[in-house]
Amino acid sequence: MKRFLTILFLTILSFQCSIFKPSNLDPTEDLGSLQSLLRFLAMADAFNTPSQTVLFMKFTDANGTPYVNGIIEYSVFNEADENGVGVSAFGESGNVQTYTATLDASGRAFLFFSERGFANISLKDSGNTFVGSISFRIYNGITKQLFSILNQNGSAQFILEDLANYRNRLASNFTFTPLGAANGRQFIYLEVLTSYTAPDQNTSIGYIASSADGEYYDLVTRIDGVTIEKNVSYEKILKISKPVFNGFDYVFFLSEEKRLYSPPNTFQENQNLVLSIPSFLTPGVATVSKLALASNLFLFRPDNLPWMYPVLYFNGRYMISPTLYTAVETKPILLNSDFKVNQDMQSAFSCNLADANFNAVGFHIISIGGSDYLQCPSIAIPSQTTQTRSIEGITLINRAVDFNGTPFSFETYPFYVRGKFVATFGAPPVLYTFNNADYLATSPSFTRSTTPISGFTSSINNGNSSAVLRTIKSSANADYFILSNNPTFAAPTVEIFRSTDDIASVTSIPTIPTNYSTTISNAEQLQSSNGLLNYSYAISSANNVGSFPSYLTRFTKNDGTWEDLPRLIKIR
């Protein structure tokens, strides 16, 4: 065997190479031969390994008029596996059949390619008359910038709006979940099918991906140690918390939940889990660990909506909000750095339960004077005055912090942003800041400013039944105030205001465009990067064999208005 390997290695080194000529640095052309081999292997990977490419395209005539309701047919010819292999809808036979799709009112469509090789698109107008075609190559690693047309027939224009290439086929758009942001990175959860028998009988693998800008997700980690499956009568799913960063790792709290498959998906059992993903040399796989909680505490929500309860980190400790079952109370619990329970924050610090309506948005980390403080609500609102508890991160000494909004009633608990406290009052809400009292005093007390923040005019009026101001997303010099009439974001009315002047004033952000979009269902779909706001979501697009998911994000422009079209999310 050793002799065979030696001969093989010498044979490789004897290959002739036209990239590097013999020189003093490479007299025997060893480097050139090695690079040739590496290039060959890279090409083999690019054209023969499975992946999926999504194209977002527009089709017009020579004058730019879109082919409304036009028809496209598209397919891929892969030299490696076309000989005598039959086609099928999703490639289960070895090759994927030709797909057909109808263009929308703008002449656009999403195209899905699950093979590598020569791709062909044929275009017909709404009367089924051929008007043009193109061919191009698809390979692993292709980008919009690298896309090029090899051949074209007809005068029609084939306009590439965007392109995304994935290492695996995307699963259902229903599994795509924005998780939130930590340490300047945005996180999403998605699934990849590993087996499929029927809609109620299949298995998947879960992944967490992160991005510095909300469009290019360059770090992807598979979640190991969990089961994601549908098995006719039941299903096992993951619900994942917002991320927190402890200085070394991104930490997520998970519930592997078993429930009945048929609605109303009655809860059966769950496992409370924690997942740590190192920020440096991020691994491709991370394994969950079991979380030691009391037997009546469950990290799950009694509905199908994404995670919404607070998860925080400060000075080596974590705060989570498991459900006290069967009372269905969300109880704030403090954990040590090893994820063992420190204490119940309700009994130890007089923190309120983390219910969805008001209290969930009242838990914050306040960083002042080089120290972190966990601030939690302790008196119910709406009221003209309220009180929070401030827990120092190292000693866990806690103090009462008073806020006075007289004569207006607090509509939400105070948020800390740009070095000042802000809160909304009344219904519909009005936004105010507070005076600069000494937060580090023994008994700090803050009073509402007399003048509201200009430009904040909300039409949402839910009669003080829940806090309308749900979150604030900040980056660069911009702060975005996210309002919702529904605390769970179930079919909500959403309003967004932006401040770029240290919260002296705000301007209204236009409603999220409805083209190539879907209704927001999770506050973490909205994130901010480089001073802009982006909205991440998934939609499905139909062709002649079924529906395929597209993962999208739409950005605001520098003036605060939305870009005309969404961008495809790119995942390494």
Tokens coding 449: 């400013």
Helices within 49-104 (DSSP H only): none
CB proximity list for 314: less than 8 A, separation 6 or greater: 365, 372, 373, 374, 393
* Mean of per-residue pLDDT scores for the chain: 88
Residues forming beta bridges with residue 481, ordered by sequence position: 472, 497
Q: What pLDDT is recorded for position 265?
A: 87
Under DSSP, is residue 68 helix (H, G, I), strand (E, B) or coil? Answer: coil
CA-based radius of gyration for the chain: 28
Measured CA to CA in angstroms, residue 412 lies from 61, 180, 416, 454, 569 at distances of 54, 21, 12, 18, 34
Q: What pLDDT is recorded for position 55?
A: 98
Tokens coding 200: 């109620």
Helix axes 2-13, 30-48, angle to 10 degrees: 100
Q: Which conformational region is residue 434 in: left (phi greater than 0), alpha (psi within -120 to 50 degrees), or beta?
A: beta
Tokens coding 180: 């939130």
- Extract the residue ranges of the chain whose pLDDT is less than 70: 1-50, 79-84, 88, 91-94, 171-172, 301-306
Q: What pLDDT is recorded for position 30?
A: 53
Measured CA to CA in angstroms, residue 237 lies from 41, 248, 306, 487 at distances of 38, 28, 12, 23
Q: What pLDDT is recorded for position 572?
A: 85
Tokens coding 27: 């007299």
Q: What pLDDT is recorded for position 326?
A: 77
Q: Which helix (H) or strand (E) covers residue 11, if one does?
A: helix 2-13
- Tokens 């299903």 correspond to 235
Cβ pair 210, 185 in contact under 8 A: yes
Q: How far is CA 460 from the centre of its chain?
A: 27
Q: What pLDDT is recorded for position 48?
A: 46
Question: CA triplet 302, 469, 519: central angle to 5 degrees?
Answer: 60
Residues forming beta bridges with residue 334, ordered by sequence position: 319, 343
Measured CA to CA in angstroms, residue 189 lies from 195, 291, 365 at distances of 19, 20, 25
Q: What pLDDT is recorded for position 463?
A: 87
Question: CA triplet 180, 267, 177: central angle to 5 degrees?
Answer: 20
Under DSSP, is residue 422 helix (H, G, I), strand (E, B) or coil? Answer: strand
Residues forming beta bridges with residue 422, ordered by sequence position: 415, 433
DSSP output for 508-537: EEPPPP-TT------GGGEEEETTEEEEEE
DSSP state of 409: P
Q: What pLDDT is recorded for position 39?
A: 45
Cβ pair 488, 302 in contact under 8 A: no
DSSP state of 168: S
DSSP output for 444-466: -EEEB-SSPPBT-------TTSS
Burial 380-392 (b: 16+ CB within 10 A, else e): ebbeebbebbbbb
Judging by beta carbons within 10 Å of its beta carbon (0-12, 13-18, 19+), is residue 38 exposed, middle or buried?
exposed
Cβ pair 363, 310 in contact under 8 A: yes
Q: How many CB atoms sit inside 10 A of residue 241's CB?
A: 24
Cβ pair 427, 480 in contact under 8 A: no
